[in-house]
Each structure stands twice: as structure tokens, then as C-alpha cells.
Structure 1
Amino acid sequence: MSDTQFPYKIELHVHLDGAIRTETIIQTAKQTILELTDVVRNCIQHPTSRSCAIPSHIQMLTTLRFLAKGDYLSEVADSHGISIASASRIVHRVCSTLCLRLGNINFPTSVPELVRIKEGFHKIANFPKVVGAIDGTLIPIQGMAGDEEPTFICRKGFHAINVQAVVDANLSFTNIVVRWPGSTHDSFILTNSSLPNIMEGTDGWLLGDSGYPLKKWLLTPFAQPSNQQEQRYNRAHCSTRNTVERASGVLKSRFRCMHKTCGTLQFGSEKCIKIIECCFRLHNKAILDKIPLQATNEAAVPVFHHHAAYQGNDNDGLTLRHRITQRF
């Protein structure tokens, strides 16, 4: 082959390789959808004597389209040839069932799991013994009336659910709390969750931002680093904790129904909570099955939250942070 033909050979190879990868991704996604349909089939398929029941795979596709695109229910219903009322019932029925059947959000307890997670975090910035990165993320919902309405207005001025999430180095969620209104502070959610009891018996620690209290199992950055060691600690802490920001960005890009630019979840708070939890579980399923995030015009850029330094730090946490800073 001549030199002038060689570039065309490379270009052809690139196109073929890309087509093979795309076909592999499509087949993997199809297999995942079939698996999810099998998981919920017995709970969502109901016989009817009036007309033909909506097949379980159509119900699953309807739900996934709504979660992934963030469309109005009317558009989702039209695309699948069903009524808006049916689409609404289907989305809530499938999401509730997936929350029950997909038990894939579990904080690591076994030694091999903890070792794997610690090694994954250590590769990022050499931060030792990290078993998770924690943060709160705001999911917008529609406004409401009633006495509880002000509690759902978050610090950014819109109605939201404040979700506490812990991730590992692979961007998989290992613990979530989906129940609190948007105005609830991150530290309050943490105190009233199961994490303090879980972490007391865990060999390792979480990384959180300055909105959390400093404890022996939860390390936060220095508010005002006074030397180079503390500055290096903060840089390593930020790089490692960034995994939870990235995970939230990927989650909201994968499921646009939770993204602010696509509007808000147009349901009551209880139904919104089920939809949000379902998205977290589906995200973990996508990570496990290695389904990549579809390329969009908008990059999955994490939003960093700026909090005033929490003042309720305990002495054990201060001692541990000082020792890590001096040693590592």
C-alpha cells in the first residue's frame, strides 16, 4: 500500500472500531433492559378483561424514557401510544418496584470490599483509608401548597429534595438518604442517618466538605490552612472527595428528569422520592454493566457547594486530621 493510501486505511479502521464499540454498547443496554424487565415483570404485569394489558417491556421502556429524557408525561405517552394517565401509573409502579427489587446500594462491610475501595481512592491522590466520599445533592421538584412548603425551598431558592449520598472511587453509590426537604442542612441529615453507627465499626473514614462536622470517621478540609502540609492535605482531600461531585454530575446527566435545566419533577414529594431513589439504583446498575454515559452537548460538570466551616468538630477528629497531615 502506498503512503497516500495509508491515512485512509487508518480512518477506515477507526470508523469500524467505533461502530463495533457502539454495537457492543447497544447490545449491553438491551440486555440490561431485559434484565430489569424480568426483575419487575411479576409486579407490574396485571391481567385485564377490558382490553389488552400494556406489556411489561413497554412499561419499562416508558419509565426509562421518562427518567432519561426528562420529558413531559404527555410526550412519553405519545411516543409509546398510551394515555397520559397510564404513563403516570406506569412510571410510579415501575419505580416503586425497582426500588424494592434492586438491592444494589449497600455500604461495604467485608474486609475485601473495604480494601478494594480504599485502594481505589488511594490511587487518586494517595489519601489513606478512605471508604467513601459524602455530599448532599439537591433534586428539584415542583412547588406545593401547605404548611410544609417553606421547608422544601433550598438555599438556591427552588423547591427540592436534599439527598445525602456516599460513593466509592468507581462513582457507584454505597449509601443514600432520600427523604429530607431541600432546606435541611447536610449535617442534620448525616446525624439522623445510619452512617454514624455504621462508621463507628468501620476501619476507615469518609471525606466530606466543610459543611460537615469533623469526626474521627469523617475528615473535612482545613478552613484556613496555615502551612504547606495543610495545603497539600486540602489538595489531596479535594481531589479524592471530587468523586462524589462527579458521581452526582453523571447521575443527573444520565437521568435528565433530575436535572435543573430540564425542569422539575411534577409530582408530590412522596412520589418524587421514589423516582429519585430509583434513578440512584439504576445508575449503579449502569455502572455495574459498564453502560457509558451517552454523549451530550452539555458536559457532566459537578457543582461545588460552598459552606461555612462547621463549628462542632470533636477532638478525636482534630487529632486524626493533624496526624494524617503530619504523616502523609
Structure 2
Amino acid sequence: MDDIADFEEFIEHTKRSRDQIGLRRYLRDNDNPFEKYTVEEFYSRYRFKQETVKNVLVPLVAPYLAKPTRRGMPFAPEVMVLGTLRYYATGTCQNLGAGGDVVNICQQSMSRIVIVVSSLLASQLKNVIKFPPPAELPNVKKDFYDIASFPGLIGCLGCMHVRIKNPGGGMAEVFRNSDGWLSINVQAVTGPKLQFYDLVVRWPGSCHSSFIYNYSSLKQRLQANQLQGILLGDSGYELSPVVTTPYASPNSPAQERYNRSHSETRRTMDRAFAIWKKRFPCLQIGLSVKLETIVAVICACATLQNLAICTQRP
């Protein structure tokens, strides 16, 4: 979330909701990953620090996970969140409890937990991934300009393919991208601090980036001047008043300077995607879950990425 005050208010609201339902903790001390691992070990396993998981991520979903009683020994929200984070960090639901990463949870239960927690995190996407309010866009433009002197930018536009397993059926081949493997083509707009401003996760790998943009609400908002500024796109997009692209064959020093500035500024998007995949290797290894769960996992990982950037700010 780009507005820190709004972010803190949002988290405080979820904390109050959590307190109202009387959340109980069921973790035994010797099985408690929050106590068992050092900060470095915990971050390596779950991609977040202990305090971020306890104070931000768990309160975000706990009101929807906690049971009013201990009947049937339901998993504590902390366990469910940690198990899901471990899945994002490994790309598999198998043997998550065998090494003591969370608790001894069978694969079937872990798969259900990943679906539930991912869906809850994905439902927060619109609260966390959004363009800054109009009053803050001048600051965004300045931050982009400071990178390589490119004026008027409010975001970098591009796509990233996320590998998936074969979904089967007659439409499976529509997910095969130009490189020959099956994927979801994810459109994103990234900011100067490598955060996500917009995300589209619904098109198969065979869809071109320009096609996804042309059918997105993002294009409509830009053309309606609801977003005041321009996006930086690569050569796969059509040049327009709201999307600027590089010169295919620059023939003057000015055009060469333009292309250099364009390329250097656009590297922020490449870095954003690289950091996103490094934090959540499941996006790079490949998602072997059902198609509807794949969408939830991708949206959840994007939501978590923005939360990570927010909580790391001074």
C-alpha cells in the first residue's frame, strides 16, 4: 500500500477485529517457529521477519480463519499463514512439516490451507495494490525522473509469465506461450520503489501483452484521464498518448538519449519482477495446483510483495 497512514489504519482495523473474536494460540513452545529460528533462519524459510508475520500478515487473515472453539483441534491462524508462506517459498505442499518448518501437517490438509489463505490474501489485493492518490502522483513522477530524467511517468507497464502445470482439457494449449511452455501471462504496473500499482491475472500464456492491455480497465482509466500521467512500455506495446515506447531505429542523438533513458528507467520493472520471483520461488518453479488456485496464489504473492515493501520503509 502506497499511503503509509492508510496502511497503518488498515492493519490496526484488522488487529481490532482479531481481538474481538478472542484469537487463541495453539502452538507449543517447542514447535513454535517464531521462537525456534533465528531472524535469518526464519526469513530464509518464510521470506518475512517474525514481527511482520505476527503483527501484519496474521492479523490480516486471522479474523476469517479463527474458530470460536478448539473442537476438532483446528489449526491456529499462525500455523496456516506460516504453512502458506512456506509453500510460496518452496513451490510444494509436500513434507512441509517433516523438517519442523511448521508442524506435522499432511499434504491434503496443507493443500486446503494454501487455498484458503491464498484466497484471503488475494481478496486484499485492491486494498494493497493501487495507484497513489492524485495528490501524490507528482512525487511518483519525480521519483521516476530522478532515475534517468524521464518525465511524466506514473508507472512501468509490462508482463511476466508464471509457469503452471498442464490444466488438461481441450483448452490446455491456449496456455502455451511463445517460448513453448505453459503459463499465465501476468500484466503489472510497477512504481519507482518496485511496488505494484496494478495487476491483471486472468490471461493464458498465449495472449500477447498488448492484447491484455487493450482489454484492461487500466487502459480505460488512462484514456478517461482518471490516471494523470503516462506509462513506460516496451516495443510490444503500441505508442499512444498514455503509453510511451522506445524508438525501433533511433536516427538522431536525441532519440538515442531517449532510448537510453527509457531503458534505464524500465529496469525498475525488471528488478521488481526479479525480486518478486526471488521472494516467492513458487512463481519461478511453477504452480502445480488447480487453475483457480493459481490465480489466487499469484494475487496473494503480489499483495505480500507490496506489504513487504511497505513494512520495510523507514
Bin for the TM-score computed over the shorter chain: 0.7 to 0.9
**Are the counterparts in 2 of residues 77 and 87 from structure 1 also a CA contact under 8 Å?**
no
**Are the counterparts in 2 of residues 40 and 101 from structure 1 also a CA contact under 8 Å?**
no
Aligned-residue sequence identity (percent) comes to: 36
Task: Report the equivalent of 1:279.
Answer: 301
Q: How many pairs does the alignment contain? A: 264
Give the counterpart of 1:110 among 108, 115, 134: 134
- SS class of match (1:98): helix
Task: Report the equivalent of 1:315.
Answer: none
Task: Report the equivalent of 2:273.
Answer: 248
| Deviation at residue 194 of structure 1 after TM alignment | 0.9
| Deviation at residue 108 of structure 1 after TM alignment | 2.7
- Larger deviation, residues 229-238 vs 42-51: 42-51
Give the counterpart of 1:52 among 73, 78, 87: 73
**Are the counterparts in 2 of residues 213 and 220 from structure 1 also a CA contact under 8 Å?**
yes
**Are the counterparts in 2 of residues 99 and 274 from structure 1 also a CA contact under 8 Å?**
yes
| Ranges in structure 2 where 5+ consecutive residues have no aligned partner | 1-38
- SS class of match (2:161): strand
Q: How big is the alpha-carbon RMSD for the aligned residues of Structure 1 and Structure 2?
A: 2.0
Give distance in 1, aligned partners of 2:68 and 2:40: 37
Give the counterpart of 1:206 among 231, 236, 254: 231
Task: Report the equivalent of 1:294.
Answer: none
- SS class of match (1:75): coil
**What are the residue-to-residue correspondences of 1:5-84 with 2, within 5 Å?**
29-34=49-54, 35-46=56-67, 51-70=72-91, 72-78=92-98, 79=100, 80-84=103-107
- Larger deviation, residues 99-108 vs 165-174: 99-108
Code of the residue aligned with 1:106 in structure 2: it is: K
2:230 pairs with 1:230? no
Code of the residue aligned with 2:129 in structure 1: it is: I
Task: Report the equivalent of 2:29.
Answer: none
Task: Report the equivalent of 2:186.
Answer: 163
Code of the residue aligned with 1:266 in structure 2: it is: S
Runs in 1 of length 4+ with deviation above 4 angstroms? 47-50
| Deviation at residue 49 of structure 1 after TM alignment | 7.4
Task: Report the equivalent of 2:166.
Answer: 143
1:281–1:124: structure 2 CA closer, same or farther, 3 Å change rule?
same
Code of the residue aligned with 2:176 in structure 1: it is: I
**Are the counterparts in 1 of residues 194 and 269 from structure 2 also a CA contact under 8 Å?**
yes
Code of the residue aligned with 2:128 in structure 1: it is: N
- Larger deviation, residues 207-216 vs 44-53: 44-53
2:310 pairs with 1:288? yes
**Are the counterparts in 1 of residues 89 and 281 from structure 2 also a CA contact under 8 Å?**
yes
2:287 pairs with 1:265? yes
Code of the residue aligned with 1:193 in structure 2: it is: S
Give distance in 1, aligned partners of 2:182 and 2:289: 12
What TM-score results when the alignment is normalised by the length of structure 2? Answer: 0.80
Code of the residue aligned with 2:114 in structure 1: it is: V
Give distance in 1, aligned partners of 2:299 and 2:120: 11
- SS class of match (2:96): helix
| Deviation at residue 203 of structure 1 after TM alignment | 2.6
- SS class of match (2:154): strand
| Deviation at residue 45 of structure 1 after TM alignment | 2.5
- Larger deviation, residues 133-142 vs 143-152: 143-152
Task: Report the equivalent of 1:87.
Answer: 110
Give distance in 1, aligned partners of 2:124 and 2:308: 16
Task: Report the equivalent of 1:182.
Answer: 205
Give distance in 2, aligned partners of 1:22 and 1:266: 28
What TM-score results when the alignment is normalised by the length of structure 1? Answer: 0.76
| Ranges in structure 1 where 5+ consecutive residues have no aligned partner | 1-20, 292-328
